[in-house]
Amino acid sequence: MKFPLYFSKKIAFSKDNKNNLSRIIVFIGRLSVALGVIVSLITVSTGLGSKRAIKERMADFSGHISIKSKQSNNSYNSSVLQTEGLQLAKIKDIPAVAGTQKFVSVSGIMRNEHNFAGIIFKGVGKDFDSERFKKFLIKGNTPKITEDGYNNSICISEKIAKDLHLGVKDSIVAVFSKESQSPLYRKFEVVGIYKTDIKMIDDLFVIGDINHARKIQGMQKGESGGIDVFLKNIDNIDEETPMIDRLAGYQNYTLKATDEYPQIMDFIAIFDTNIVLIISIMLIVVIINIVMVLLILIIERTNSIGMLKTLGATNRQIQAIFINYTLLIMIPGLIFGNLIGVSFLLLQKYFGLIQLNPENYYLSVVPVDLNILHMVSISLGILLVAAIALILPSYLISKISPVKSIKYT
């Protein structure tokens, strides 16, 4: 073992340190490190967790990537998806693809004696991924779609249900209109109520039978207005979109879930800024406190420094001793900071202690992304930054004269 590290361990874990004047400042240094770790862990875990949760909610509802006809022109009313050049079998065979489902969407109005609501009726077929949708259900079930005739069951959002005073098994009339045609009336039965916490979805979308949407849009049996493509991992969305776009056909286009709601993505981008800002502030606080600890330790042990110089130790060796000494002092702060931070995050993950207003944050509970890599990176990052920051103040050691420092020993 090298001399600086050996000597720093001896003085760091010496029992004599418990009775000297530095114990208070050492405690403050450890406390600042622990707080820095706790705040950094919470910031990173909740920030990244929120970003991922919002993206996954958008993708799980409307597909990670949607294939639509270019004639749709970004309208809520679907045009017939062009099958020429569309290689759906090859899309399904892509390893990153979890599944696909066809849909037809049409805009309309739901009304009763209580109120009315503008809606987007999203007709889904027998390939509808009801298991994926179940995470959004708060009451009832999803419609059982067989594409054999017309199923009048629908699933509406909690927001629409409240506005129209509807519950499971209640009936509601929807009105759809097309140019140069009389309004079309359809009576539906509510079989399920969902909630995504994303206002742009909850305010509009109703899930029902694709045959109703086909009839309203004048489509033939078997035709669809688009295909939702679900991926196994949302992190692959940018990588897989170009490949799926090539297989979609030249008359169709692809739309990522992250591009469908740009205002939400702008909101998500704020998390990155907040994470960087908060961690930077905490690093500054930790560095200031640790540098203060080092300076006080140097002043307190001036006689020891003089003695080491007299015995032949170089300034570089003594600097290394005190930097190692200070870093060793930080270790209890890192340990307790991680224990407290992870404990809090686990409580939040499994019990949802902190609630949010979904109208402002698109989430009702603060989500947590617990990643061991993030925890290790934060601790090692704090140690590394502190070690670099301690180099400059440690040069004070070179100014200490051995003769003067041991004169009054």
pLDDT value, residue 144: 92
pLDDT value, residue 6: 67
pLDDT value, residue 162: 95
pLDDT value, residue 183: 87
* Dist. CA 158–CA 336, nearest whole Å: 43
Closest listed residue to residue 47, CA positions, set 230, 261, 266, 278: 278
pLDDT value, residue 319: 82
* Dist. CA 306–CA 312, nearest whole Å: 10
pLDDT value, residue 13: 60
Q: Tell me 27's DSSP state.
A: H
pLDDT value, residue 16: 56
Write out the H or E segment, with its range, that includes residue 276: helix 262-300
Residue ranges, the chain, pLDDT below 70? 1, 3-22, 73-74, 179-180, 398, 401-409
pLDDT value, residue 394: 81
* Dist. CA 115–CA 291, nearest whole Å: 65
Contacts 24+ apart (CB under 8 A), 235-240: 236/96, 237/59, 237/64, 237/65, 239/96, 240/64, 240/65, 240/94, 240/96, 240/97
Closest listed residue to residue 61, CA positions, set 3, 129, 150, 1: 129
pLDDT value, residue 300: 76
pLDDT value, residue 11: 64
Query: To the nearest whole number, what is the mean pLDDT of the chain?
Result: 88
Inter-residue contact 238 to 152 (CB < 8 Å)? no
> What does the radius of gyration of the chain's CA atoms come to, in whole angstroms?
31
Closest listed residue to residue 210, CA positions, set 126, 129, 86: 126
Torsions phi, psi of 406, nearest 5? -105, 5
Residue 351 pairs in a beta bridge with none
Closest listed residue to residue 160, CA positions, set 185, 127, 133, 196: 196
Closest listed residue to residue 285, CA positions, set 67, 39, 4, 41: 39
Q: Which residues contact 389 (CB under 8 A, 6 or more apart)?
A: 287, 290, 291
pLDDT in tens, 188-238: 999 999 999 999 999 999 999 999 999 999 999 889 999 999 999 999 999
pLDDT value, residue 381: 92
Report the predicted TM-score, pTM, of the whole model to 2 decimal places. Answer: 0.83
pLDDT in tens, 298-336: 777 777 777 777 777 788 887 888 888 888 888 899 999
pLDDT value, residue 74: 63
Q: Which residues contact 135 (CB under 8 A, 6 or more apart)?
A: 60
pLDDT value, residue 303: 76
pLDDT value, residue 15: 57
Residue 171 pairs in a beta bridge with 189
* Dist. CA 403–CA 70, nearest whole Å: 86
CA 323 to chain centre: 37
One-letter amino acid for residue 123 of the chain: G
